[in-house]
Amino acid sequence: MERIVTVVPEAGLHARPASQLVRAANGFDAEVTLEAIDSDAGPASAASMLGVTGLNVKQGERVRIVAEGPDAEAALDAVEAILTASVEGGDGKSGSERDGDGVVDS
């Protein structure tokens, strides 16, 4: 299974969002990888902090999430939620919740 999402956090895949993503990816019975579509980086294991931050993905860039295993769909949902959540305000709301349109642009 795979999905393509646009990274919303202002910091991109660095610091807090990367830490949350790695923690989430390790919580499922699934192999999760990320690939930066807008650059030549990846794929990298979503279970590795070094791998995730090494992608150097910035806000607004697209990422392909691939998951395989019994919990693949749940892992995709969790990783997508982190990548599409705005953390600037610290309220945990996604970009779609902020602007009210219910759609995360990708």
Enumerate the active-site residues.
14
Residue 14: DSSP 8-state? S
Q: What is the DSSP track for 16-67?
A: HHHHHHHHHHTTSSSEEEEEETTSS---EETT-HHHHHHT---TT-EEEEEE
Supply 102's token pair: 């219910």
